Structure 1
Amino acid sequence: MFPTIGDLISYLFHVQVKFNLQTFGTCMALAFAGAYVVFVSEFKRREKDGTIVGIQVKNAGKPVEVIVNACIGFLIGYKVVAIVWALFQGHDPVSLLFSLRGNWIAGCLLALVWGIWAYVSKQEMTATVIHPYQLMPYIVFMVAVWGFLGAKLFDAVEHFQELMYDPVTVLFARSGFTYYGGLIFGALTYLYIGYRHKIKLIHMADIGSPGMMLAYGIGRIGCQLSGDGDWGIVNRHIKPDWIPQWAWVDTYPHNAINAGIFKHGYYELPVGVYPTPLYEAVLCILLFGVMWLFRKRLRAPGSMFFLFLLLNGIERYYIEIIRITPKYTLFQLSQAQMIALLFMAGGVAGFVWLTGRAYFSPAKEIP
């Protein structure tokens, strides 16, 4: 496994490289970048076909907008500059991320620059129309913040006993994030931003669905490459001839969380397990391809979102059967499986509603 990008480069090119950029974090950044491209493409397509329209913005002179922009600038300068500097110094950027340390000078400078920019732009603006896709930088930032908090919160609830015993370690550990927590909090943030800008929530949900599926698939690549603990149960079955060994069982040598036994200078699981992040990465990227192919054919508002709920729920429910996540006493289901069942129910109910709406619409009535 490759906890850092330096480990991955060293393995691929057979050269020793000391570069502490975390593989999981890099893949998460790529996931956001991929989703960004898909979101922008869908926003532009939906605006072009008239589903959504431009957003009228008036200069209300609200100081809160200037303050919010200044705070965003401070956070970026305070953390991002410090993390980049830590990388060049050969230090661990993850420990810096999960701490109160940062670069005060860069934070204050960027806060000043962004605050002035927000103030000047508002003063120059009396009334104008912006395209919905131009909201994406703000959406990405806010979704990242709230999605991160949601993923950590859901993981803390999933490991409630550990949380009660040692809350600081659980809440501030560099590992321990639940996908559905990030998805739910991030999606609610995304929908709220659309609501604030008077875009119908059903259209926002449709636009965001393919990008969410792609982002999940790319993020799981990071889980597999780094070995972050999201693997499966012990695989005791005989491997079929047509499946490669690396796709059937893995011991995750040199994993990012130092799980297993220590030998040959690194930690490795004592027995092979199912590489479930690999399965999810392949499945979700393929499912994104399916959604992308059908996006222009599913014209009814909500159909793309209901398809996402159904596909994502089915995929996650069945992959959880061979994952090591804790199972609750009630029905022996994991937290993710319970949410996946709700997703599937929501997807089925949504399509039933769309079918009934089409059948009983006035256009279908016999005169």
Structure 2
Amino acid sequence: MHNELFKIGGLTFYTYGFMIAIGIGLGYVVAQKRGKKLGMNVEVFDSLAIWLFGFGILGSKILYWITIIDQIAMNPSILFNLMDGYVVYGGIIGGIIGGYLYCKKHNLNFLEYFDLLVPSVALAQAFGRIGCFFAGCCYGSVTDSPIGITFPANSLAPAGIPLIPTQLFSSVFDFILFFVLITFARKKKTNGEVASLYLVLYSIGRFIIEIFRGDLIRGSVGTLSTSQFISILVFIVGITLFTLCRKSNVK
């Protein structure tokens, strides 16, 4: 794994950030093309993307702080570390809130844009998890199986120990989720169904992959990891949203 992609002078470009940039860029292009085919107003995408990104970053950071609140109480300077410490679920929740507020402000159909954007979110996550793999974050448990990956000393993962490559599991799952959502979007009956399917399927996949995670810093709620606990809530929200959309037949 090469976490450091290249350097220009004293500036270092990391593979993690590069993969996230690719994911966001491709997701944006896909959403633009699909939006145009559907006759939607894609001129709002630039400003909408800023709201989604801003609220997503804020949400991912806040949820991370919540998971380590005891450490922050002992060392408040952690709050000023902006280089790492982000939680995907927080980014999803924050992005949804930002998207809703933007659509509310500009009188746009939130569920319609939610449906349009979630496949691109899954695509961006797929590339982002590849970045996680190169950086060594979000690593899996110790394993003796042939699939074990040994990370180098400069990685965020424990060095020299075979670990389950949960980052790659997540990436493959997110790519599959992207194609499932794209396919389902062509057959949806009401606005909100694609978003609901994303919430349901992502929560199931994330809950399962969390079983194999080994980075305990992500916190826990009882016997569940924080993300597993949130997955249960997200699953319920997804099922509820799908049911309500079908009943109301929102167009």
Per the normalisation by structure 2, the TM-score is 0.89
The aligned residue for residue 273 of structure 1 is: 163
Q: Percent identity?
A: 25
2:152 is equivalent to residue 253 of structure 1: yes
Note the residue ranges of structure 2 that are not aligned, 5 or more in a row. none
The aligned residue for residue 337 of structure 1 is: 228
- Superposition pairs of residues 34-45 of structure 1, within 5 angstroms: 34-45=26-37
Deviation per residue, 1:120-151 (Å, 9 max, x gap) = xxxxxxxxxxxx21111222223222222221
**Residue 20 of structure 2 aligns to which amino acid in structure 1?**
M
Distance 1:255 1:292, change over 3 A: farther
**Which one of 107, 117, 123 corresponds to residue 208 of structure 1?**
117
Distance 1:299 1:145, change over 3 A: same
**Residue 328 of structure 1 aligns to which amino acid in structure 2?**
S
2:248 is equivalent to residue 349 of structure 1: no
**Residue 351 of structure 1 aligns to which amino acid in structure 2?**
F
The aligned residue for residue 127 of structure 2 is: 218
Cα distance in 1 for residues equivalent to 2:148 and 2:11: 28
**Residue 155 of structure 1 aligns to which amino acid in structure 2?**
Y
**Residue 5 of structure 1 aligns to which amino acid in structure 2?**
L
The aligned residue for residue 95 of structure 1 is: none
Cα distance in 1 for residues equivalent to 2:63 and 2:235: 20
Cα distance in 2 for residues equivalent to 1:327 and 1:148: 19
Cα distance in 2 for residues equivalent to 1:327 and 1:141: 29
Cα distance in 2 for residues equivalent to 1:313 and 1:134: 31
Cα distance in 1 for residues equivalent to 2:71 and 2:65: 8
Asked if structure 2 preserves the Cα contact closer than 8 Å seen for 1:206 and 1:305, the reply is yes
RMSD (Å) for aligned C-alpha atoms: 2.3
Deviation per residue, 1:246-292 (Å, 9 max, x gap) = xx1112114443x53xxxxxxx2x42111111110111011101111
The aligned residue for residue 328 of structure 1 is: 220
The aligned residue for residue 20 of structure 2 is: 28
Distance 1:310 1:255, change over 3 A: farther
The aligned residue for residue 230 of structure 1 is: 138
2:66 is equivalent to residue 157 of structure 1: yes
- Superposition pairs of residues 1-367 of structure 1, within 5 angstroms: 1-6=1-6, 20-47=12-39, 52=40, 132-227=41-136, 229-236=137-144, 238-239=145-146, 248-257=147-156, 259-260=157-158, 268=159, 270-323=160-213, 324-325=215-216, 326-330=218-222, 332-356=223-247
Asked if structure 1 preserves the Cα contact closer than 8 Å seen for 2:141 and 2:212, the reply is yes
Range moving further from structure 2, 203-212 or 343-352:
343-352
SS in 2 for 1:5: strand
Per the normalisation by structure 1, the TM-score is 0.62
**Residue 33 of structure 1 aligns to which amino acid in structure 2?**
G
Distance 1:212 1:181, change over 3 A: same
> 1:35 Cα deviation (Å)?
1.6
SS in 1 for 2:13: coil
Asked if structure 1 preserves the Cα contact closer than 8 Å seen for 2:203 and 2:231, the reply is yes
Cα distance in 2 for residues equivalent to 1:210 and 1:297: 14
> 1:180 Cα deviation (Å)?
0.9
Distance 1:207 1:21, change over 3 A: same
Cα distance in 2 for residues equivalent to 1:19 and 1:254: 21
Moved over 4 A (4+): 354-358
**Residue 157 of structure 1 aligns to which amino acid in structure 2?**
I
Cα distance in 2 for residues equivalent to 1:150 and 1:357: 30
> 1:196 Cα deviation (Å)?
1.5
> 1:179 Cα deviation (Å)?
0.5
Computing the radius of gyration from Cα coordinates, the structure with the larger value is 1
Which of 1 and 2 has higher RCO (CA within 8 Å, sep 6+)? 2
Deviation per residue, 1:156-182 (Å, 9 max, x gap) = 111122211222235415221100111
